[in-house]
């Protein structure tokens, strides 16, 4: 009788442990460290990751770093101290958040990059997101084609040194080196924000210098450039963005913005959650899951939106 009770207790304990493990498996806790949520695309990406987590039975908490590497490193280290099952990292800097990656690895917490990569990407199991250099290439190819290989342009960058800023801008120059007839007469950073892009473009337009196009690293800044162009009555200046946010899609349809780049953020978010969950469950993942970019213009916008 005594032996039976001991066996029954052991079975109950094992069952409880198994149930707890299964429950934990269904309720994994992920942290998504995002560079910022200062524009519509990044805010939508954060929401998409949370939603994808809910669909996969995972709780996701978002930490926005306002484009500050030191803040992002501190956020990661703080969350590691609280206990977390996995990390999705959208880095604030290509080189500046290595310490955060290393802290996660020392804590044996699975970490992947989402949307942008880091300089130590080879040490991480996977990246999910767009290949941003081709985003820049496709944008500038469209601009060059529209200008027939000749014209004066301005470039509006995101936060300088940010992985996305570097990759997209490098893509621009990959194309421009083959078109000496395209001259960059203005360039500057608006830190991904519409307001700063508006001010920057207003200053350029106030000089009275000829300008044929303004090419922006993201849609938020394209909207700022659009405002400045409209206010100055310079409707002939072509504007290019990246992210395909709803407001810009409407502007493309209206002809106020010439083109943007569409990358399926819902697919990106769902893939990121799936990859991280697979890692935690001991499965194999690829080193890269690339979300292909598509140029959206007035000619094809209704096909996608």
Q: What are the backbone angles phi and psi of residue 234, rounded to the nearest 5°?
A: -110, 60
CA distance 143 to 291: 22
Task: Assess whether pLDDT exceeds 60 at residue 23.
Answer: no
- pLDDT tens digits for 48-107? 999 999 999 999 999 999 999 999 999 999 999 888 999 999 999 999 999 999 999 999
Per-residue CA distances from 287 to 92, 273, 297 (Å): 21, 15, 32
Asked if 7 and 95 sit in the same domain, the reply is yes
Together in a domain, 105 and 164: no
**Same domain, yes or no, for 238 and 183?**
yes
In a domain, 298, yes or no: no
Is residue 196 a part of any domain in this protein? yes
Label residue 280 by pLDDT band (50, 70, 90).
very high
Residues 39 and 160 in one domain: no
269 lies in a domain?
yes
Residues 124 and 200 grouped into a single domain: no
27 located within any domain: yes
Contact 43, 246 (CB under 8 A): no
List, edge to edge, every strand of the sheet that includes 151-157: 182-189, 151-157, 213-216, 238-240, 259-262, 294-297
Query: Is 12 inside a domain boundary?
Result: yes
Residue 83: predicted pLDDT? 85
Same domain, 138 and 254: yes
302 pLDDT exceeds 60? yes
Banded pLDDT at 186 (limits 50, 70, 90): very high
The whole-chain average pLDDT of the chain stands at 91
* Residue 302 is assigned to a structural domain of this protein: no
187 pLDDT above the threshold of 50: yes
What is the reported pLDDT for 27?
Answer: 86
Give residue-wise pLDDT tens across range 156-178.
Answer: 999 998 889 999 999 999 999 99
Q: Is residue 305 in some structural domain? A: no
Task: Please indicate, yes or no, whether residues 255 and 272 belong to a single structural domain of this protein.
Answer: no
* 9 has pLDDT over 80: no
Q: Which of 23-32, 70-79, 182-191, 193-202 is least confident?
A: 23-32
Domains held by the chain: number: 2
Place of tokens 């703080």: 78
| 299 located within any domain | no
SS (H, E, C) the chain: CHHHHHHHHHHHHHHHHHHHHHHHHHCEEEEEEECCCCCHHHHHHHHHHHHHHHHCCEEEEEEECCCCHHHHHHHHHHHHHHCCCEEEECCCCCCCCHHHHHHHHHCCCCEEEECCCCCCHHHCCCEEECCHHHHHHHHHHHHHHHCCCCEEEEEEECCCCCHHHHHHHHHHHHHHCCCCCEEEEEEEECCCCHHHHHHHHHHHHCCCCCCCEEEECCHHHHHHHHHHHHHCCCCCCEEECCCCCHHHHHHHHHCCCCEEEECCHHHHHHHHHHHHHHHHCCCCCCCEEECCCEEEECCCHHHHC
State the burial class of residue 12 (Cβ atoms within 10 Å of its Cβ: 0-12, 13-18, 19+).
exposed
Rounded Cα gap, residues 158 and 250, in angstroms: 22
Instruction: Give the per-residue pLDDT at 61.
Output: 98
Instruction: Taking residues 282-295, report their average pLDDT.
Output: 95
- Could you tell me the CATH number of the domain that includes residue 76? 3.40.50.2300
Residue 37 has pLDDT above 90, yes or no: yes
Tokens representing 67 are: 């484009």
pLDDT of residue 116: 92
Q: Whole domain around residue 7: which residue ranges?
A: 2-129+265-290
Summarised one tens digit per residue, pLDDT across range 220-240 is 999 999 999 999 999 899 999
Tell whether 170 and 269 lie within a shared domain.
no
Instruction: Over range 206-215, report the average pLDDT.
Output: 97
| Cβ–Cβ < 8 Å for 116, 35 | yes
Report d(CA 78, CA 221) in Å as an integer: 32
Are 143 and 85 found together in one domain?
A: no
Mean pLDDT along residues 188-209:
97
Q: So what's the pLDDT on residue 26?
A: 57
- 150 and 242 in a single domain? The answer is yes
Determine which of 6-10, 35-39, 231-235 has the lowest per-residue pLDDT on average: 6-10
Q: How far apart are CA 171 and CA 167, in angstroms?
A: 6
- Do residue 113 and residue 189 come from a single domain? no
Q: Bridge partners of 30? A: 60, 86
Confidence category of residue 19, pLDDT binned at 50, 70, 90: very low
Answer yes or no: do 52 and 161 share one domain: no
């Amino acid at each position: 009788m005594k032996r039976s009770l001991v066996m029954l207790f052991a079975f109950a304990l094992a069952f409880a442990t198994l149930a707890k493990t299964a429950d934990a498996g269904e309720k994994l806790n992920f942290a998504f460290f995002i560079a910022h949520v200062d524009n519509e695309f990044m805010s939508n990406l954060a929401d998409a990751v949370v939603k994808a987590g809910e669909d996969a039975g995972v709780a996701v908490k978002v930490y926005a770093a306002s484009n500050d590497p030191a803040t992002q490193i501190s956020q990661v280290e703080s969350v590691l101290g609280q206990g977390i099952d996995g990390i999705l990292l959208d880095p604030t800097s290509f080189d500046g958040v290595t310490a955060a990656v290393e802290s996660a690895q020392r804590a044996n917490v699975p970490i992947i990059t989402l949307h942008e990569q880091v300089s130590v990407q080879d040490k991480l199991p996977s990246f999910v997101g767009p290949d941003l250099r081709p985003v820049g290439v496709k944008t500038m190819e469209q601009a060059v084609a529209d200008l027939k290989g000749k014209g004066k342009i301005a470039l509006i960058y995101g936060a300088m040194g940010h992985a996305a800023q570097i990759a997209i801008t490098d893509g621009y120059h990959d194309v421009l080196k083959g078109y000496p007839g395209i001259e960059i007469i203005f360039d500057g950073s608006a830190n991904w924000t519409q307001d700063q892009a508006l001010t920057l473009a207003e200053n350029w337009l106030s000089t009275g210098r000829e300008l044929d196009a303004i090419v922006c690293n993201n849609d938020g800044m394209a909207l700022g450039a659009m405002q400045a162009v409209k206010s100055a009555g310079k409707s002939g200046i072509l504007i290019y963005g990246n992210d395909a946010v709803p407001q810009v899609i409407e502007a493309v349809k209206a002809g106020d913005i010439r083109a943007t780049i569409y990358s399926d953020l819902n697919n990106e978010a769902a893939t990121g959650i799936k990859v991280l969950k697979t890692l935690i469950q001991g499965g194999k993942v690829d080193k890269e899951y690339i979300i292909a970019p598509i140029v959206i213009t007035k000619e094809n916008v209704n096909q996608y939106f």
